[in-house]
Amino acid sequence: SQQGEEDPQALSIQEGENATMNCSYKTSINNLQWYRQNSGRGLVHLILIRSNEREKHSGRLRVTLDTSKKSSSLLITASRAADTASYFCATDGAAGNKLTFGGGTRVLVKP
Amino acid sequence: EAQVTQNPRYLITVTGKKLTVTCSQNMNHEYMSWYRQDPGLGLRQIYYSMNVEVTDKGDVPEGYKVSRKEKRNFPLILESPSPNQTSLYFCASSSTVNEQFFGPGTRLTVL
Q: Please state whether beta strands B10-13 and B106-110 pair in parallel, antiparallel, or not at all (unpaired).
A: parallel
Residue A27 CB-density burial (10 A; 0-12 exposed, 13-18 middle, 19+ buried): exposed
Q: How confident is the model at residue A4 (pLDDT cuts 50, 70, 90)?
A: low
Contacts of A39 in chain B (CB under 8 A): none
Q: How confident is the model at residue A3 (pLDDT cuts 50, 70, 90)?
A: low
Quick one: average pLDDT of B40-60? Answer: 93
Least confident of A8-12, A86-90, B97-101: B97-101
**Chain-chain contact of B48 with A98 (C-beta, under 8 angstroms):** yes
* Among A4, A7, A21, residue whose Cα is nearest residue A83: A21
Phi, psi of B21 (to 5 degrees): -105, 120
The size of the A-B interface in CB pairs under 8 A is: 58
- CB contact set of B51 (below 8 Å; sequence gap of 6+): B30, B31, B68, B71
Count CA atoms within 13 Å of residue A109 on its CB side: 19
User: What pLDDT digit, counting tens, does each position of B80-96 carry?
Assistant: 999 999 999 999 999 98
SS3 content of chain A, % helix, strand, coil (to 5): 5, 55, 40
Decide: B6 and B21 in contact? Cβ < 8 Å. Answer: yes
Contacts of B99 in chain A (CB under 8 A): 33, 45, 48
pLDDT score of A5: 80
Phi, psi of B92 (to 5 degrees): -145, 155
Q: How confident is the model at residue B42 (pLDDT cuts 50, 70, 90)?
A: confident
SS3 call for B41: coil
Residue A101: count of CB within 10 angstroms of its CB: 25
Is A86 in the B-facing interface, judged by CB distances under 8 Å? no
Decide: A70 and A90 in contact? Cβ < 8 Å. Answer: no
Contacts of B98 in chain A (CB under 8 A): 31, 33, 48, 92, 99
Q: Is the peptide bond before B8 cis (omega within 30 degrees of 0)?
A: yes
Q: Closest Cα of chain B to A99: distance in Å? A: 7
